[in-house]
Structure 1
Amino acid sequence: MSRRIVLIRAVNVGGAKLPMAELREIAESLGASDVSTYIASGNLLCTPPSDTAAFDRALEKAIEDRYGYFREVISRSVEELRDALAAHPFDVVEAKFSYVYALTGAPTKEAVEA
């Protein structure tokens, strides 16, 4: 299994505290190795167990159980992120204003139209 970037949205803002040392411990307790975090962002790099979707869901549950709030976890491989950036359909005027938003699955037609 290769290293993945694990994104956890909206932590360490609005009272949703998630200490990075504890996040690393949680990820390791779920079977991840080579775990490191990036500043206090809630993002980490790790090599998860082979079932990455199950790891993401387990990390969500562990955070909710421990801290009392739910945060969606989305992980991507380096290759998946490179592909997403390469497929960016818009002209980039300033790179710092270009965004790629990761989803856990394909949105429904209704969600796209909303």
Structure 2
Amino acid sequence: MTTYAALLRGINVSGHKKVPMAELRALLTEIGHTDVRTHLQSGNAVFSTTSDDEEAIAAELEQAIEKRFGFPVPCLVRSGGYLAAVADACPFPAAELEGRQLHVTYYGQPVDAARFEGIDAAAHLPEEFRLGDRALYLYAPDGLGRSKLAEALARPSRTKGITATSRNWNTVVKLVEMTADAETGDHGARA
């Protein structure tokens, strides 16, 4: 069994694309996954399965969500090991920052620096970004909502053809913990 996190993009935002977490847990169980738990209302689920094909798991989940809820929801599925590696590779001093100041955007495929050409890094300081393994790290000291760099990074010309979803550092750390707990069977009282 491998433990994964499913990262759903764009659900439960301003009353749109409502996916209750209890229903998401039930759906994941119905399609054959075990040890299903969710975190927050923004589309984070942890589960175990015998499959080792992240893309196939994500495609199956996308189809099940569209069938159940009537709208498409892009999903990324990543192993607990991958999530831990991304957290460990953070190029910013995460322990010194507030969770709202640091974000990771997870991508459905590798991205290279060419996608982000034309961004004047100096013009956005003190905000900064760095690329990782199918991930982008964003340091936004005033938070994501006020970040001009986040706007520039998310322009359709830079994200075209790629599933991408962002999580703040608190959620990044929590998903690493939840997937590690699932691997060891230590679930505590979390739901």
1:100 correspondence with 2:104? yes
Residue of structure 2 equivalent to 1:39: 40
CA RMSD of aligned residues (A): 2.0
Mapping of residues 2-41 of structure 1, within 5 Å:
2-14=2-14, 15-41=16-42
How many residues matched?
114
Paired with 2:112 and 2:34, the residues of 1 have a C-alpha distance of: 34
1:66 correspondence with 2:68? yes
> Identity across aligned pairs (percent)?
32
Paired with 1:44 and 1:19, the residues of 2 have a C-alpha distance of: 12
Mapping of residues 52-63 of structure 1, within 5 Å:
52-63=54-65
Decide which moves more: 8-17 or 88-97. 88-97
Structure 1 gap ranges (5+):
none
Instruction: Decide which structure has the larger Cα Rg and report it.
Output: 2
Question: What is the DSSP-based 3-state SS (H/G/I as helix, E as strand, rest coil) of the residue aligned with 1:102?
Answer: strand
Q: TM-score, length-normalised on structure 1?
A: 0.83
8 Å CA contact 1:60–1:71 kept in 2: the answer is yes
Structure 2 gap ranges (5+):
118-157, 159-191
More strand by share: 2
Task: Identify the structure with bigger relative contact order (alpha carbons < 8 Å, sequence gap 6+).
Answer: 1
Shift of 1:64: 1.5
Runs of 4+ in 1 over 3 A off after TM superposition: 90-93, 108-114
